[in-house]
Amino acid sequence: MADAVVFKTLPDVRKYIEHAAAELDRQSRYVPELLRVLDAARDIPDFERLMNDGCRGQRHAGADVFAKMSLREKVLANLITPETTLFRFTEGELEALDREIVPRLQGRKARLLIVPCSLGDEAFTAAAFLLKRGIDFEIHAFDIQPALIESARSGRLSFGFPLEYLDPPGKVAPALLQKIRFEVGNAFALPLQEGVKPFDVVLCRNFIGYFTPEKAQRLVERLASRVAPGGALFLDSFCLDKFPELHKPLTARRAVRVGHRPVYLFPQHLEQP
């Protein structure tokens, strides 16, 4: 996909970073870190070379995936990193899945929404989990970075391992990949068709905590509107501890938190808040 944003000078990049940072947590250390790299650069090619030589986004995407990103995408990968890994769930979270969510999915094809999905490991984890429990499923997974989606579609498992040091095997079989639709999409404006059926489980993990409280709340409201009656929203403890106000739009929908787990169960009959 062609990238419409072209930077001509280092001040253009700085302006872009500052604009993006306005929506991010003011405490984020990723912003000043990236600005320090920018300050050290002589010009745009030098800035890109410094990032390619090693930066947070490059480490988490893997050098080969990072190389496919435009300069703007590389900048974004340093502000909101593609960090992901298989089975990135605590024991308590897996227990909540087994006790509270699995019984709700029995006997039908479960529909899952995963956003953002980075290199796909979270979707592959969910698929492995459901396969082991004998639950049929379809997964819709979105990320804003085309290079990450391209990698996810290939079925390559990253294990959180530097991809350039990972030899095959470690690829999800095509028959299983057919059950997972990886698409480029912005979490705040998902490219889902009008009237698309709601999802039994919506996962949004290790993402919301990056933003300002206002932006986080708006996103949770949107995600909650995608949850089917009797479905579940799976967040992460980091964002819920950081933004206790996220509880509000969920309780307004009569969703109930599972103990201290970052999981909300929605009632069978949903009311509009």
Binding site for ligand SAM (CB under 6 A): 80-84, 88, 116, 118, 122, 142-145, 148, 186-188, 205-207
- From the CB of 248, what's the least distance to ligand SAM, in Å? 22
**Residues of 135-147 as b/e, b for ≥16 C-beta within 10 angstroms?**
bebebbbbbbbeb
Beta pairing class for 263-265 and 180-184: unpaired
- From the CB of 122, what's the least distance to ligand SAM, in Å? 4
- From the CB of 128, what's the least distance to ligand SAM, in Å? 14
Q: 119 or 270: whose CB is closer to ligand SAM?
A: 119
- Nearest of 87, 88, 91, 99 to residue 265 by alpha carbon: 99
- From the CB of 172, what's the least distance to ligand SAM, in Å? 16
Q: 110 or 208: whose CB is closer to ligand SAM?
A: 208
Q: 74 or 253: whose CB is closer to ligand SAM?
A: 74
- Nearest of 45, 56, 61, 60 to residue 78 by alpha carbon: 56
Helix (H, G, I), strand (E, B) or coil at 19: helix
Q: 212 or 230: whose CB is closer to ligand SAM?
A: 212
Q: How many CA atoms within 13 Å lie on the side-chain side of 53?
A: 8
Q: 63 or 144: whose CB is closer to ligand SAM?
A: 144
Residue 15 CB contacts under 8 Å (≥ 6 apart), including other chains: none
- From the CB of 198, what's the least distance to ligand SAM, in Å? 19
